[in-house]
Structure 1
């Protein structure tokens, strides 16, 4: 059962974060040599250095300001564009992927998630990877010895890590024809 490809979104200038992720993956593979990981560092869009990025044209500043009383920063737009480009990659590959931001902390149970990721992708088109202790209301959908799949009833904002299928990548791309809110 092959593990889906892992995309780590990383600004080329964030060398320390890349090293932090490298260390975590090395430790994971040392503890679990049977793991066959395919990891790609995906070059993040640097909003302040690329203020004219083509995806920023999707930003509806008026709607965001009306709803939130402020404008999205170039960094927030860069974050959005980075995730959007990874969604396109997922769609192009036609395979489920795991997306991690470069500040993710991989917990001990991450290995069990990896081992079950393909099966999970068949049942759920999208899964957030997040530690417990959310204050929002939720119901438990599935439980394994190592982690829980829960459905939350309010918006859940966190893009540190997620499992994504091509079907959901397509839905996200269609839905986010216009950028109004930050991706995370």
Structure 2
């Protein structure tokens, strides 16, 4: 099987997590590359300002972003840049605190037959339902969403999708929340169930560790209400049209 490039986002100093995930991928017949994560705490304010729009955050999101969230977004964004710069048809993006099912390899074998997609979600810790579904075979089902899963543990990104996501800079929401606002950039998002990737609760995410104690918890009723209204309106629309993908 021709596998896509697989990038595992891993923080420097936490290479044991990379090794654990890499070993598991090898067990299911896949190979991967380590992608060094950006530590938001180590970025100078001048560089943060080139990535993160504080004014837009104040106007369009319900709370400020933490250094961990900023670093996480930059890490994913730099993978999108790599996909575009190297003209990769698509790539699999994984974080390093994962449980990976044996089904990942046979799922990836189906991807070349799909067309017109920008992102395929392979994980969801909240069991968001599909709206429309199509059977890919006896094992896997393709579907679209009204409520796009907000995790970034595992997903496929196409060249076309990466180009769209590069338009997000400077960003003002967390990367997983931005993916839920797919309509803003015409991002065509689908998922394949049963998901082959899930969060490994035996690990504490490095992003979660970096975020500890960072959120002020201070917001306003108006900021919260505006964000919820925008999210509600986005969820009135399907994340993709399946007939355009199969």
Q: TM-score, normalised by structure 2?
A: 0.64
The one of 160, 165, 173 aligned to 1:181: 173
Matches within 5 A, 1:23-34: 23-29=23-29
Superposition deviation, residue 164 in structure 1: 1.2
1:46 maps onto 2:42 in alignment: no
Match of 1:151 in 2: 144
1:117 maps onto 2:114 in alignment: no
Mark the CA change 1:160 to 1:51 in structure 2 (over 3 Å): closer, same or farther: farther
Match of 2:127 in 1: 134
Contact 1:141/1:151 (<8 A) preserved: no
- Pairs aligned (count): 175
Structure 2 unaligned blocks of 5 or more: 177-246
1:108 maps onto 2:80 in alignment: no
Instruction: Give the stretch that moved more between structures: 81-90 or 162-171.
Output: 162-171
Superposition deviation, residue 69 in structure 1: 4.0
Match of 1:6 in 2: 6
Match of 2:241 in 1: none
Match of 2:77 in 1: 84
Superposition deviation, residue 86 in structure 1: 0.1
Instruction: Give the stretch that moved more between structures: 154-163 or 123-132.
Output: 123-132
Match of 1:171 in 2: 164
Q: TM-score, normalised by structure 1?
A: 0.83
Contact 2:124/2:150 (<8 A) preserved: no
Match of 1:74 in 2: 67
Match of 2:15 in 1: 15
Task: Tell me how large the CA RMSD over aligned residues is.
Answer: 2.3
Distance 2:67 2:44 in 1: 7
